[in-house]
Amino acid sequence: MKKTIETFKRMALPLFGFFILLALVEFIITVISLSATFLPFFDMNGLNPSFSPAPYMNPNIPVPPGYEYGPSLDYAFGWEELAPFMSMLPGLLGGIAILMVLSILIGSVFFTGIFHLTKKAYTEKAQFRDIKLKGLPRVLGWYAIVTLISSVAIGVGIFLAMRFESPYSLAMFGLIYILVLMAVGLFVAPWITAAPYYMLNHNSFAFGQAFKESWHFYRRHMGPLWGAFFTLLGIQLLVNAIYRGSPDIGFILTLLTTPFLTVLPIVWVLTLEEEDQPPLIATIYSPSPGQASHDPGMGAPAEPSSPSSTDSPHTPWNTSSESVAKDSYGSASTTPLYTPPENPYSAPESPYHSPSVPSYEGTSSEESERESVNFCPTCGKKVREGASYCSQCGTKL
């Protein structure tokens, strides 16, 4: 929740702007679709002079003598009375289908843009231009699959219900079927909430692989995802309770909490993804305490005035690599780790001891350089002034 609040603060202004923009677009499309769908019903009421309803459809006019209802189901309303409605059925169903498709499209655009905005605000300040539609087709495919499965489940229930003749059996079947659907829906509700964002976060995966991995992600993190789901549910129930007590305050809270509740599952998914993939590279390349204490002595020359400086200025590469491997994992490793050099453009250091005498500033002749050497640079033994070779290891001075 703390990370969600921090992310929400970084993206509040573009989030509310995008939310209001899509709400206006959806409202306009809904009004146009409903007007086009129910316009024929206004024509039936006499707004269109080309339509002439039957006189017996008016309750103030008596039924003509000799009129008999058709044999269809022995109801008081025959199939011939549905003739005006049957002509409007294609337009009605088409309008509802268009409205559903537009709702899915607008919802997919909204959730895709909000995901990219939230992913940007997860680490830094986000702006309106950070809203992107990358990955929109897979979100559309996801919602199409969910809608298809839901429609098939409802259709199977209706088909099975039509086979019952007893009203008691039909009521019992309907109750059991609804409870089963509610149990299944409640079980997969956190997955349905988090799966689109997981698929958007893994845009490099194919659609089928991302769909399958989203289910594995849900099974690995059922506890946190259930916590996010119940948090969403609890906040919504609290806002609804406040809205019933005070509609004005509830309306303001609804406007404030709806964008926040949209961001909450996205931050939850990003946080769980971050916990699944810790930054291993930084751990491997970070200097260990032993290496940090050993590195300063590698590049510094041996000072003749310091008798305690016994380390060699030239250290073989395998020694430092073995110390890095041993310090990083707690034990000696057969495969040494790669230690990046401090200056990648410098010449590589020779792994062998150099017999040459290091040069010091302020000396211009070989005699003065030889007189300033009082300790062997290889073994550290004190030598007499003017000596050409070390008496212990034989290194030329």
Domain boundaries in the chain?
1-69+81-134
Inform me whether the pLDDT recorded for 305 exceeds 70: no
Distance CA 270, CA 6 (A): 14
Per-residue burial over 277-291, b = 16 or more CB atoms within 10 Å of its CB, e = otherwise: eeeeeeeeeeebeeb
- pLDDT tens per residue, range 37-91: 666 655 554 444 444 444 445 556 665 665 555 544 444 444 555 566 666 667 6
Distance CA 268, CA 119 (A): 11
Inform me whether the pLDDT recorded for 368 exceeds 60: no
Amino acid (1-letter code) at residue 108: S
pLDDT confidence of 179, banded at 50, 70, 90?
Answer: very high
pLDDT at site 57 = 52
Distance CA 252, CA 22 (A): 19
Distance CA 195, CA 119 (A): 15
Inform me whether the pLDDT recorded for 294 exceeds 60: no
Which one is predicted more confidently, 239 or 293? 239
Question: What angle, rounded to 10 degrees, do the helices at 167-201 and 83-121 form?
Answer: 40
Which of 162-176, 249-263, 328-342 has the least mean pLDDT?
Answer: 328-342
Amino acid (1-letter code) at residue 294: H
pLDDT at site 39 = 64
Distance CA 93, CA 101 (A): 12
Per-residue tokens: 244: 């019933």
The stretch 266-279 carries a mean pLDDT of: 81
- pLDDT tens per residue, range 2-24: 888 888 888 888 888 888 888 88
Q: At a CB cut-off of 8 Å and minimum separation 6, what does 245 contact?
A: none
pLDDT at site 370 = 46
Inform me whether the pLDDT recorded for 194 exceeds 80: yes
pLDDT at site 42 = 58
pLDDT confidence of 94, banded at 50, 70, 90?
Answer: confident
Cα angle for residues 35, 37, 41 (degrees, 5° grid)? 90
Per-residue tokens: 391: 């008496």
Inform me whether the pLDDT recorded for 325 exceeds 80: no
pLDDT at site 76 = 45
Inform me whether the pLDDT recorded for 150 exceeds 80: yes
